[in-house]
Amino acid sequence: MKSDELLQSALQLHRAGKTAQAEAICRDILKFHPDTIHALHLLGVLRYQARDYASAAAFLEKALRLAPASAIILNNLGNVYLESGRADDAIACYRKALRLDPGHAEAHNNLGSALEESGHVEEALACYREALRLNPALAEAHNNLGNALKESGHVEEALACYREARRLNPALAEAPYNTANILLDRGQTREAIDLYRAALGLDPSYVDALTNLGAALKSAGEIEEAIACYRKALGLQPGLADAHWNLAAALLLRGDFINGWKEYEWRWETKDFHRRHFPQPLWDGHNCEGETILLYAEQGFGDTIQFIRYVPLLARRGVRVLVECPGELKTFVECVEGVHRVITPGDPLPDFTAHCPLLSLPLVLGTTLETVPAEIPYCSAPRSSVERWSTKLGQRADNNIRVGLAWAGKPSHKKDKYRSLSLETLRPLWEIAGITFFSLQKGESALKAGGHPDGMELADYTDELKDFADTAALLENLDLVISVDTAVAHAAGALGRDVWTLVPCDADWRWILERTDSPWYPSMRLFRQDAPDGWDTVVSRIAEALADFVLRKRDKA
């Protein structure tokens, strides 16, 4: 059979989905005719579809050297570069293809994808629209236009684009997948699950859909099913960092610390975390008596407070411990037993022999659910500050108990809408006599409260809380703290104060499934949301418990 006939046979096999046979024919052709452009091109496409991007690039680059004016080869080489993380090279390929063939709708669409990947969303929008002007039936361009519109905040228009993409090409798995992402963000978890499964029905190897299906199932409380999704995704793509990261959260949530901490180290491979690099080695748990170890905050205030508990353990091993943390935590952290010195970001670092990010300590030290270091309190407020706040608050009005409230976290947190609530939602607590409420809420959420809703008296000294040491001193003068899942709850728990934490249905891993207590904070009580449909039921339970708390406090008085 002649080379042309063999090539036609390979193309037919490729269209029929028989990629292995098509590839074998192309390789046979190239054994005898190594410069056959169409065989090189098809083999490059086949290797691209197999996610072997290095081989795909090699075949397509050789084909392009032989046919430098081929817009089709340039477009496909751009696709390989884009999937390989070489967005700038991909953009150059697409632009050259379009200079050769300005009417190439697919190249306009692909250029849009590369520009969007590089953060040029407005330029990407123009490319997608030009692709659709040239070919209104190009489903992939509708889908990509939807992605760019979503990125620009035009969510309803994005959904319309995904619907049109599905109408034009019901086999396009990306369209239901992208729709599901929006629904999951909106809290429409069940609908999102159905659409992720629809995407996987079209493409069972769609690892992003498997990973996000896992996230949706976790959100719905189906932890074992979520873990199965993550493991299936990793079976297809073992280095998929997001799947490892999500698996870590699910394993820790169910209390599997041994495996969970190992998976948690994959956070450094995701886009949300940035590993620090030092000439000194990462501490691996070896005997470090007499050494100086730098521990550094890597996540939020609450995470830092939770994991600073490990400092006393290191100090008792004869380690000199340096801690780098945000300035708002500096004075608070300085009160932790064993802290030699606290540095804030940007300050010159003193000499040290090894380093460790705070949330890697549980892995290094082999923490299990049974061995969580929970010697409470492990933080304290400066005694002078506690006394100053005692004087400021003065005598208790009518011998009332003092309850601090924090009802919202940072709005920038990815899941803030699930954990935060309005002050008005807590109104049933004001029906209980014998309580003076204190605001512990700072920032935008405090301003949104607008002073206080009618009839809700709330003592507010938050303007005087300059850092967490001030907050801690105020907490030491309260009888109880009621807080959503935010740093205030961690601070109260680290101080050993009575603290009640409102936990959303899609709980963070640290609160572990179904528990009403916390192994991290013995003085904490968890009030869990039964379903993601509001907080009224939880607040009713808290009100009942609070009335009992007041009676018990008064009986002891």
b/e code 28-59 from CB counts within 10 Å (16+ = b): ebbeeeeebbbbbbbbbbbbbeeeebeebbbb
What CATH number does residue 529 fall under?
3.40.50.2000
302/209 same-domain check: no
Asked whether residue 392 is assigned to any structural domain, the reply reads: yes
Is residue 75 a part of any domain in this protein?
Answer: no
pLDDT digits (tens, 9 = 90+) for 5-30: 888 888 888 888 888 999 898 998 89
- Nearest by Cα to 333 from 389, 397, 382: 382
* Residue-level pLDDT at 450: 46
Note whether 437 and 549 are same-domain residues: yes
Judgement on whether residues 348 and 421 belong to the same structural domain of the protein: no
Is the pLDDT assigned to residue 443 strictly greater than 80? no
Q: Comparing 329-343, 413-427, 428-442, which segment has the lowest mean pLDDT?
A: 413-427
* 8 A C-beta contact, residue 233 and residue 242: no
Same domain, 396 and 544: yes
User: pLDDT value at position 9?
Assistant: 86
Residue identified by tokens 């290094």 is: 364
pLDDT digits (tens, 9 = 90+) for 161-203: 999 999 999 999 999 999 999 999 998 999 999 999 999 999 9
Look at residue 1 and tell me whether its pLDDT is greater than 70: no
The predicted pLDDT at position 32 comes to 87
DSSP codes joined into one string, 450-476: -S--TT---B--GGG--SHHHHHHHHT
Is 536 found in the same domain as 480?
Answer: yes
Rounded distance between C-alpha atoms, residue 300 and residue 253, angstroms: 19
Is residue 57 included in any domain, yes or no?
no
Per residue in 234-255, pLDDT (tens digit) is 999 999 999 999 999 999 999 9
Do the domain assignments include residue 229?
yes
Say if residue 3's pLDDT is above 80: no
User: Helix or strand or coil: residue 295?
Assistant: strand
pLDDT in tens, 286-322: 998 999 999 999 999 999 999 999 999 999 999 999 9
The answer to whether residues 94 and 76 touch, using CB atoms and an 8 Å cutoff, is no
Query: For 51-73, what is the mean pLDDT?
Result: 95
Same domain for 533 and 480, yes or no, is yes
State whether residue 402 is helix, strand or coil: strand
DSSP string of 212-277, one letter each residue: HHHHHHHHTT-HHHHHHHHHHHHHH-TT-HHHHHHHHHHHHHTT-HHHHHHHHGGGGGSTT-----
Distance, in Å, from the CA atom of 175 to the CA atom of 159, rounded to the nearest integer, reads 9
Residue 512 exposure: Cα atoms within 13 Å on the Cβ side: 16
pLDDT of residue 398: 77
pLDDT at 39 over 60: yes
CATH of residue 265's domain is 1.25.40.10
Whether 334 and 217 share a structural domain: no
User: From residue 75, how far is each of 41, 178, 380 by CA, in Å?
Assistant: 11, 24, 62
Q: Are 177 and 268 in a shared domain?
A: yes
In which band, very low, low, confident or very high, does the pLDDT at 451 lie, cut at 50, 70 and 90? low
Report cis status (omega within 30 of 0) of the bond before 377: yes
End-to-end CA distance of the chain: 100
Are residues 486 and 549 located together in one domain of the fold? yes
Cα–Cα distance measured from residue 360 to residue 298, given in angstroms and rounded to the nearest whole number: 10
- Whether 556 has a pLDDT exceeding 90, the answer reads no
| The predicted structure's pLDDT at residue 449 | 47
Q: What is the model's pLDDT at position 532?
A: 77
In the chain, the number of structural domains is 3
Counting Cα atoms < 13 Å in the Cβ hemisphere of 295 gives 29
**Does residue 85 form part of some domain?**
no
Residue 415 lies in a domain: yes
Q: Are residues 301 and 416 in the same domain?
A: no
Q: 336 in a domain, yes or no? A: yes
Mean of the per-residue pLDDT values of the chain: 93
Residue 90 identity:
A
Confirm if 434 and 401 have CB atoms less than 8 A apart: yes
Query: Which residues touch 157 (CB under 8 Å, ≥6 apart)?
Result: 146, 149
Confidence (pLDDT) at 5: 81
**Residue 1 covered by a domain:** no
- Of 272, 300, 315, the last residue of a domain is 272
318 and 241 co-located in one domain: no
Judged against a pLDDT cut of 50, whether residue 516 lies above it is answered with yes
Contacts of 129 (CB under 8 A, 6+ apart): 145
Domain containing 434 equals 386-556
Q: For 9, which DSSP code?
A: H
| Lookup result for tokens 């190897």 | 205
Give the C-alpha separation, 59 to 361, whole Å: 46
Domain with residue 314: its CATH number is: 3.40.50
For residues 417 and 321, membership in a common domain is answered with no
